[in-house]
Chain A
Amino acid sequence: MKKVLIIGSGISGLSCAIKCAENGVYALLISPFPSERSQSVMAAGGINAVLSDCDNGDSVECHIEDTLKGGSYLGGKKSVSGLCSRGEEIIKYLERIGTVFSTDSSGRPIRRAFGGQSHKRTCFCGSSTGKQIVSALIMEARRYEAKGLIKRRLWSDFHSALIHDGRCFGALLFGEGTGRLEAVYADAVVIAAGGQNSVFGKTTGSTQCDGYVSGKLFMQGVELKNLEFIQYHPTTIETPQKKMLISEAVRGEGGRLFYNENGRRVYFLEDKYGSRGNLMTRDVLSREIAAAKKEVFLDISFLEKKEIDRRLPEVRDICKKYRGIDISAEAIPVSPSVHFFMGGIAVHMNHETNIKNLFAVGECASMYHGANRLGGNSLLAAIYSGWVAAEDIAGKESSGKAENFTETEEKENAALKSRMTTKSNFPVMYIRDMLAGTMCSKLGIVRDEATLGEGLADIDYYLSVAEKINYDASVLPYFNYSLTGILTLSKAIITCAVNRKESRGAHFRSDHPESRDELCYSSIISYNNGSFSFRLDKEHEYES
């Protein structure tokens, strides 16, 4: 039986594992913690799909056009068409496996309006859509686990891919229990490791999503794409712990953004963009809020309390618990924060990377969202991409070719051991904190060459010391061995931002404020022995 190794057990990893199992392919699902801890559970607002009982005038073509336009036409038309055309199938599937959608009296999923969309097409489960989907997928995966077609391995961390001659044969995994690296072989490896949130410190996402897997694979020859496009979510609330997401669902339910001036509320977005001003795309809103240079609030208090309780209970709870704010009586102070990464591992339409038998799905892959993602499209893409990769793997003949990586395994184990026998307690987290400071201050909503250059210089310094410091032997070895990969990925992100000398979607350059037609291509970055090479994908080589 064919075997697939899946790194990450959030929605895209689970979807891929289940689809593999449905097709008789054995899936080994790797993660440090169970799926309940994945970042997917934090996705709030909803999942887009044009259903047969859609809004008057809506169609799959409209969804495709909205997605392409929202992404400033960097998302490939063929791939986006594939994504949108399976929307209804995905919703039906989620219903079939028991997802608890918010439904009308006839049991049909209710749809809400979301930013940048011409019609109401966002299906949702209260304001915890991601969690509800994860719960349903966990149950479905369990069905196949009981049959022996899916196996979970917890307390395991990715170390590196086993690559030879442009082909992937498995991965080296670190066992937190054994303290050793182990080579695990498979017919295909699927990376479902999420975005790179924590290179920016504590963002709206999970602390577990640190970008290491993408960074390490980049160093092993995997190409990355569109890294400069980072979505700042316009509405997050500051708490002592982190910035927490205030779901787009609040604006979907009619929430209005304003600031105070001379004792009156100024609904600055409605003034500028008309009645749908609060539902402009996230990149536009984040820039407008930053440009207002005033404390901005989001008001939903005009909605009846029972409607807030019914449709936005999680938003109500976050505001009450962490800030003591009653959203049915007062407005929520909001500001933009790093939220989603449109860029990531470059993949072809079957979600295979430039390395054979190595796939990437979910947020760590870059495919559909172009320069800016529409709310409700990430959950759709997470499931769709997991399916596409699984279907491709299931349909391929196994090469049957085997390679032995015992020597690599021994060499890497020896390197890890020598690093961990240090008596030092210099925590790698100090450098991670400095990196987060650099990334937040040098790669903000508005960028320019000089500031980005300062960021590059900072990261070059961190990289110059990363291999020389003695690490803290009292923390998980993962934190120590992952540092160089994370720093390398961060450098690649800034390099892409320096090289895109225009403004497009979420990438805004104050020194190049216009979009340039001749640059309307995805960016690709590759690594060779310490040097980075940047190019535009003018031949659309990944749209194939």
Chain B
Amino acid sequence: MKKYATFLWDCFRLSFVGDWRYHLWMTVLTVVTLAGLHAYCHQLVHGLVTTGMTDQVSWGMYIANFTYLVGLAAAAAMLVIPVYVYRNMHLHDVVIFGELLAVSVIIMCLLFVMADLGRPDRFMHLLWRFNFPISMLTWDVIALNGYLLLNLHICGYLIYCAYCGRKPSPVFYVPFVFVAIVWAISIHTVTAFLYVGLGGRPFWNSAIIAPRFLASAFAAGPAFIILTLQVVRQFTRHTVHNDALLTLRQIVQVAMIINMFLLACEVFTEFYTDSAHVASARYLYFGLHGKTTLVPWIWTAIGMNVAATVLLMLPASRGLKLLNVACILSIVGIWIEKGMGLIVPAFVPTPLGEIVEYQPTIHETAVCLGIWAFGLLLYTIFVRVSVPVLAGEVTYEKRLSQSSVNSSLATGGALAKE
């Protein structure tokens, strides 16, 4: 127990240590997080009236970001599957970064859901009367929290073992890794079911949403990881081989193609049938009765996704520069398409045919940015701490021997740059 407390304390101290770039980055993230917290406190005082949501469009940016981030959490599964299922060892040393990403992203998801609640003070009502298995939202609560715990356990165990200087025992984590793979797929499926099960919203009421979720998640997630790994190898001494990045490139490539194909299926079904149900899709792609707010967004997204797919198909994208461009295009493209492009149009027109557009407010945007900054902050800390620990540079034994040399090191001086 004392050892574990020491471990947590060391992790805490490590997260404050770094060069000026690290401190600058962390300061910026902290400031943005606090600005978001400020906006959220306003929301707590005045209610959700501080957002752009209305009775007509009752879900907005919070749920859009939540949906996208559930997808991003898939990144972990996409790293784990090649290693543990196909024994592709290129990715072995970087799996942990995917899982740490999953942890931070799921925490962001939970924060977005909390931000969206009108009465966050009653959150514990979920514990007293849990409408399981009827409400899909209760499934999502289980899926997300379960996934969080699984990944926390896997990462925590591996990192703690490294800290203690012992070899991790496969019994304690490999079964969880396999459960986490299935679980990763389930968090998307369940989140998709949240929307597709509603007969009153024809835009969502389509079986293709869940597969599209998975495809876009398996593109955006690994794309994000490709960029992250490059940052990790730039700023730490952890080696990441290009082979790992190229394996991920293949995953993004295939997922992107499937995503585009499913999108085409969806668009064809809607517009060729051209029934009354096409109203929301028409609003999204072409505008309805002169209301066109989302049109530029969705075409930007489609343009980005197409460009990313083409780039990924070119052999030239084995070069990192082009690959990075393709990754950024798919991350942003999918964020628009799966976030605002999936959530908002389902509310326009309303079930009574009213067309009210949704325009996020500054408050709402600040809260979103705050949660993103907080997520990045968490992820940065996780990576910052795990790299030296996994490399065996920070262990319990070293810590013990140091303490005997100089007890004043508790101030953190031991880990400082000098």
Binding between chains A and B: no
Which B residues fall within an 8 A CB radius of A? Answer: none
> A residues engaging B (CB < 8 A)?
none
